[in-house]
Every structure is written in C-alpha cells, then in structure tokens.
Amino acid sequence: MKIVVIGAAVIGLVSPAFAQKLPGDFAFLRDIDPTIIQDIRYASSNNFMGRPIAGYGAAECVVKRDVGLRLKAVQQELARQKLSLKMFDCYRPSRAVADMVAWSKNGAETAAERRYNPAFSKADLFRLGYIATHSGHSTGAALDLTLVDLTADNSAKFDPAKDYADCTAPVAARAPEGSVDMGTGYDCSDAKGHTAAGSITPAQRRWRTRLVAAMAGQGFVNYSKEWWHFSLPGAGGRAYDFQIVSRRN
C-alpha cells in the first residue's frame, strides 16, 4: 500500500474561533478525521491505574499533524472493509508518565490493577518494558489503538462495579472494549499481549496481522510486546508536557 499524501486543507475543518490552539504541529485527531473512534482510557477510571491519569483533562486524541493525516489514510482504507480504527491513547503528557512511575512504586496491588498484569507485580512493569520512563507518546508520534468491526454489536459498556476476569481471559469474561477480539484486552501486560504470541487463536492472530498490515501501509511500526502500540519513525522529537484539554473553547 502506498503512503497517501493528503492536503493540509483537511486540517482546517474546525474554525479557529472554536478550536483550542495546540503547541507546535500538534492537532486534535477529530479535526483531521472525526470518523475515527476514540476511547481515551487514561482520561477515565477504566484503565490500569483505576483513575484519570495526570495531564488528561479531556478524552481527546492529540497527535502530530503528519501522524493524524496518515491515520486518516489508514481509516479510509479500513472503511472499505467496514472496519474502523479505535484510539485508546495518543499524545501523553510527561506528567502522566511520572504519574505512572509513582503509581508503580506505591506498594498497593488492587484486584482491578491485577486484571492488567495478572502474572507479575506492577513494580516490574518498567523493568519488563511494558511502561517506559520516557515515552514516545509524549512526542506525539506514538499511539495505542485497535480495530472495530462496524457490522458487529459493539454496545457493551464497561461497568466499574463489575468483577471482570483478567485481561488474558476469553473475550466474554473480560471487560468489554467494543472492538474485535485481539486475544487480550488493551494494556494487558502479559506475554499473551505480545503481538506474535503463540497462545492466541487463529482468528485472533488474523486480526492482529490485519491491524499491523493496515498501519504498516502508512509507515507505522508495531511494538512487539504490545499488539496495540504503534509509532511513526522520524515523527517524534522532544517530549512535551502540555495538558490535554477539550478541543472546544
């Protein structure tokens, strides 16, 4: 698949009078492609820390402009297959990374937290490479995402009062994510979450392969320990720490 170059005019879909101004060459993904589904989990309690994470003042996907344009091209290709991207995390403020580091060292280990790392202690997440002390997300060039089958029933919602099975359990037992079954839930710190894990079903492997291929068509590279994590080489740069805010004033 060839890289599609899209004119910068598509970015100006929202009047400057109504859109929040972002630093540098960042943009709200909704302003580039509003059809891409967003479920920014770190702005909610539905994540491995069980609460909104520092810096996430709004559930918005913020990206470098070139990253957003390439995501739009991926989305256009997927739409022909009745599929959609679903964003879990995009730009991540440096303060959020610091919040994750502090969380990993707080000595607590709740049942909700264990759903995301059932095989080992959360204190090992950084040592094992599941969370980085300096994240590519903070440059605006890294993303966490999945696929949604637009022909399926995606209506099941996360219930914080429900006792779900851990992220490696069969899809019917773990927390719903409104997306295809990739073999684990998002942010599952487990060998089963490795992109090439041998413990998943053929159908789950086909979905992972499909996602990796779709993203690779626009130059994105997958992180081998997380089927959901992709980055765009050369699009990064320095880390930022501006707060994620609502795209409307």
Residue 229 annotated as part of some ligand binding site: yes
Neighbouring CB atoms inside 10 A of 17's CB total 6
Residue 137 annotated as part of some ligand binding site: yes
Per annotation, catalytic residue among 109, 113, 177, 226: 226
**Is 177 among the catalytic positions?**
no
Neighbouring CB atoms inside 10 A of 21's CB total 8
Q: Where are the alpha helices (DSSP H) in the chain?
A: 29-32, 65-79, 94-104, 111-114, 202-216
Q: 3-state DSSP helix/strand/coil percent for the chain, to nearest 5?
A: 25, 15, 60
- Dist. CA 144–CA 186, nearest whole Å: 8
- Dist. CA 87–CA 66, nearest whole Å: 16
Residue 134 annotated as part of some ligand binding site: no
Going by the annotation, the residues of the binding site for Zn(2+) are: 137, 144, 229
Going by the annotation, the residues of the binding site are: 137, 144, 229
State the catalytic residues. Answer: 226
